[in-house]
Amino acid sequence: MSEKKNAVIGQSGGPTSAINATLAGVIEGCLNFEGIGTVYGMKNGVEGFLREDFVDLGKYFEDKENFEKLCMTPAAALGSCRLKIKEKEQFVKIFDVIEKYNIGYFFYIGGNDSMDAVAKLEKYRAQERKDVDVKFIGVPKTIDNDLCITDHTPGYGSAAKYIACTVAEIARDCAVYTQKAVTIVEIMGRDAGWLTASAALAKEITGMGADLIYLPERPFDAQDFLNEIRNRIEDTKKPYVIVAVSEGIKDKNGEYAAKAAMSGAVDTFGHAYLSGTGKYLENLVREKIGCKCRSIELNLMQRCASHIASKTDIDEARMIGNAAVKAAENGKSGRMMAFVRENAPEYKISISDIDISEAANLVKRVPDEFISEDGKNVNEKCISYMKPLIAGECAVKYKDGLPLFFKF
Amino acid sequence: MSEKKNAVIGQSGGPTSAINATLAGVIEGCLNFEGIGTVYGMKNGVEGFLREDFVDLGKYFEDKENFEKLCMTPAAALGSCRLKIKEKEQFVKIFDVIEKYNIGYFFYIGGNDSMDAVAKLEKYRAQERKDVDVKFIGVPKTIDNDLCITDHTPGYGSAAKYIACTVAEIARDCAVYTQKAVTIVEIMGRDAGWLTASAALAKEITGMGADLIYLPERPFDAQDFLNEIRNRIEDTKKPYVIVAVSEGIKDKNGEYAAKAAMSGAVDTFGHAYLSGTGKYLENLVREKIGCKCRSIELNLMQRCASHIASKTDIDEARMIGNAAVKAAENGKSGRMMAFVRENAPEYKISISDIDISEAANLVKRVPDEFISEDGKNVNEKCISYMKPLIAGECAVKYKDGLPLFFKF
């Protein structure tokens, strides 16, 4: 039997509500695998790895309850970074540290950039350091759901659930008055409209929600938007209109809608004022139509409101973390873990792994077949795709009225 | 035994997560009281009452489960209004409708303006229509917690819980990077800082939260604010700073901080651009300090995020609704229901009723004894006051991943 090797796990990119569930899954897998000795956590992703800033993860999980607590803690518990490794010295240093700490398993949880980092490390190993026995495995996470090949990404379901729930609640709030009013909800996703699309679930499931949904996949036409609002605000039975809009909508020239309109606006410092997309549409409606209008930016809450995380998402995120260890156990390296949805009426997912260099640096947008004909909403096919991802509620533990979080 | 009289219930003012729990309590009380015949709901408060737009509430609650569903539905299920009754004809019309529908009990759930309406109706009855046997009872609700005499208002606890929970989650999100960054969280409450104060519960309970809390009860000094940020951002152990700020902070001249600074700023329409307070502070930090800074407006979610409602708040809101019926049964009129906190180590509330004319139109601000000496936070006394109000989680029912709401 071969000597034990150590494992290291890192988190990178923007936080999500599920990234710690994946971390829990990887840790669990490592602790259960005989072939692994110490399980290190790198603080702040490769940034911490490069400065050898490690946490001995094993000692935190002698109490198994901590896994549950970690799963329900938002944002990367090990810290995150935005560092892109590209310099030769960085690769050299990383392999030095790998050897120094006898690391045989390198797990990296992150989005597109992180998968790219793993792909590069694998390539470097294959080309320059074949002598080092280390497996590199990427585990996807991103609320944006814009990674290719995997059916969806861990983190998306919880963000989608937060958005759908919040839009449903906002719709109730907007419905109480008889005065005509427009509410614009600005949602994250610069290039892909998956998060904005999830606003459609509010009306689908609760009967009240967004009336119009503007994705970055379709060019935004301000005149057409104003016509839509005018027509809808005239509906006497329903005086409120709710619009879900991606922060990344662009006009037909590919210019951010808000940027194009706001050029020339300055603040008291004399600096160009860059309005958010929601605020831009709010001002547009107020100026051109004159009715009451407010905009709401869902902001960071989309990625950190773990108290309303999707159980499906959290369970799957933990599973995919666990599966990453299995893949490494089986000798795989340079792979990204991925969800495969079974082609069946009931939602069912299996976990697979794919060549990480195929997945990195590609953006998966909402496909044409998911967008309604007029381009201002999503269709039944998109709803069917999204609906199972927000299903189920987690048993969040509370203390004194607030969720219990885990801290290293 | 006297003939049965009918009851009518209305909701008014801004929505909260608990206003429907109070409605449920009043309906329950009315349906259980032999002396009441039909229980009407007025659509959109007195607006609906004036046009005789009523719902027969009894028939919706043969299934008792609907009470639970109503309790967990955000925003006024009967609709709301902002109408202030002041014209003589309005009073005449209201009493005509009262007689026409044989109404003996008039319950109105709302904030300051609504309590004022009830006080006026009682006064009009006493002065002009002593012949009409009708009891007017006001039941308070407001997320702002700014009503006098009552210990707190139904709706505040749930809003405070949402704010504290969200600030705790945001703190986790902010803590993942090593880059220095400031996050400003703008919270509702133009004149009273109760909601902003509740951000303090995040750090108190979860260990991470707002570092600075700016209430409208203290004049805001931009220079001092910048000094605070500068000092804190230099702390190498904790690169992030979180600021909770009331939308209503004013400078020493009583001018809204954001307004004073933004005068002169114009948008592309040439209109004065009125920034939110959070956005103003964000720009200020970015301009004067130059570090990464973002602002987050908690917006409508503060008053409608019923999925994270405080059980204490929802239970009490229902109880106070029930108690309102008891007060009317006992022949009281022109009263506002109020919470009285027992002077004991354990949190305990009893329900009382007070002369509504004493409570209406007064604003209860955060008292000096609750504010820290430097004026940039709240103290232990304030924490002790707020903490029990966010305690407990409601058993929210979900369908397909989203909360089940009630609809008339």
Full DSSP string of B282-345: HHHHHHHT-SEEEEEE-TTHHHH-GGG-BHHHHHHHHHHHHHHHHHHHTT--SEEEEEEE-SSS
Residue A289 maps to a domain: yes
Q: Which residue from A minimizes the CA distance to B15?
A: A173
Single-letter residue type at A197? A
**Tokens describing residue B188:** 């509702």
Region of B83 on the Ramachandran plot (φ > 0 left; ψ -120 to 50 alpha; else beta): beta
Output the domain CATH number for residue B172: 3.40.50.460
pLDDT at A362: 84
A48 and A118 together in one domain: yes
Strand, coil or helix: B363: strand
A281 and A188 together in one domain: yes
Partners of B176 on chain A (C-beta within 8 Å) are 11, 15, 44, 75-76, 79-80
This model of the complex carries an ipTM of 0.96
Q: Best residue in B46, B259, B267 to probe A by mutation, most A CBs within 10 Å? A: B267
List A residues 285-314 in contact with B (Cβ-Cβ < 8 A): 287, 294, 296-297, 299-301, 303-308, 310
B328 and B221 together in one domain: no
Interchain contact, B177 vs A44, CB within 8 Å: yes
Partners of B262 on chain A (C-beta within 8 Å) are 267-268
Output the domain CATH number for residue B100: 3.40.50.450
Radius of gyration from C-alpha coordinates of chain B? 23
Partners of A306 on chain B (C-beta within 8 Å) are 169
B30 and B71 together in one domain: yes
Domain boundary among A267, A302, A337: A302
CA dihedral B140, B5, B65, B402 (to 10 degrees): -50
pLDDT at B236: 77
CA distances from A83 to A86, A113, A163 (A): 9, 9, 29
Domain boundary among B303, B324, B354: B303
The residue to which tokens 């989680």 are assigned:
B393
Rounded CA-CA distance B12/B78 in Å is: 9
Confidence of residue A262 (pLDDT cuts 50, 70, 90): low
Q: Whole-structure pTM over 0.90, yes or no?
A: yes
Which of B201, B208, B402 has its CB closest to that of A164?
Answer: B402
For residue A267, pLDDT beyond 80: no
Interchain contact, A271 vs B263, CB within 8 Å: no
Tens digit of each residue's pLDDT (9 = 90 or more) over A222-257: 999 999 999 999 887 888 999 999 999 999 999 888
What is the pLDDT tens value at each position of chain B, 408 positions in all? 468 999 999 999 999 999 999 999 999 999 999 999 999 999 999 999 999 999 999 999 999 999 999 999 999 999 999 888 999 999 999 999 999 999 999 999 999 899 999 999 999 999 999 999 999 999 999 999 999 999 999 999 999 999 999 999 999 999 999 889 999 999 999 899 999 999 999 999 999 999 999 999 999 999 999 999 999 998 878 889 999 999 999 999 998 888 766 555 555 455 545 568 999 999 899 999 999 999 999 999 999 999 999 999 999 999 999 999 999 999 999 999 999 999 988 999 999 999 999 887 789 999 999 999 999 999 999 999 999 999 999 999 999 999 999 999
A218 and A172 together in one domain: yes
pLDDT at B201: 98
DSSP H stretches of helix in A263-334: 277-288, 301-304, 311-329
A48 and A121 together in one domain: yes
Domain boundary among A302, A332, A351: A302
Interchain contact, A300 vs B170, CB within 8 Å: yes
For residue A112, pLDDT beyond 80: yes
Domain that holds residue A97: 5-143+150-155+306-362+393-403
B290 and B311 together in one domain: no
B229 and B326 together in one domain: no
If residue B118 lies in a helix (H) or strand (E), which one and from where to where?
Answer: helix B112-128
pLDDT at B256: 87
Residue A375 maps to a domain: no
Number of domains in chain B: 2
* Residue A144 annotated as catalytic: yes
Catalytic position from the list A144, A146, A211, A315: A144
Interchain contact, A176 vs B79, CB within 8 Å: yes
Residue A373 maps to a domain: no
The distance in angstroms from the start CA to the end CA of chain A is 33
List B residues 157-216 in contact with A (Cβ-Cβ < 8 A): 161, 164-166, 168-170, 172-173, 175-179, 183, 201-202, 205-208
CB atoms near residue B294 (< 10 Å) = 18
Interchain contact, A205 vs B296, CB within 8 Å: no
Q: Which residue from B minimizes the CA distance to A306?
A: B169
B189 and B320 together in one domain: no
All residues at 6 or more sequence positions from A49 whose CB lies less than 8 Å from its CB, including other chains: A8, A10, A42, A94, A97
- Taking alpha carbons only, the member of B152, B162, B165, B170 closest to residue B309 is B162
List A residues 13-52 in contact with B (Cβ-Cβ < 8 A): 15, 44, 47
Tens digit of each residue's pLDDT (9 = 90 or more) over A26-60: 999 999 999 999 999 999 999 999 999 999 999 99
B233 and B291 together in one domain: yes
Residue B270 in contact with partner chain A when CB distance is under 8 A: no
Tens digit of each residue's pLDDT (9 = 90 or more) over A324-378: 999 999 999 999 999 999 998 899 999 999 999 988 778 999 999 999 999 999 9
Rounded CA-CA distance B332/B313 in Å is: 25
**Tokens describing residue B44:** 């959109």
Residue B207 maps to a domain: yes
**How far off is chain A from B290, nearest CA to CA, in Å?**
13
Rounded percentage of chain A residues whose pLDDT exceeds 90: 88
Residue B278 maps to a domain: yes
B210 and B85 together in one domain: no
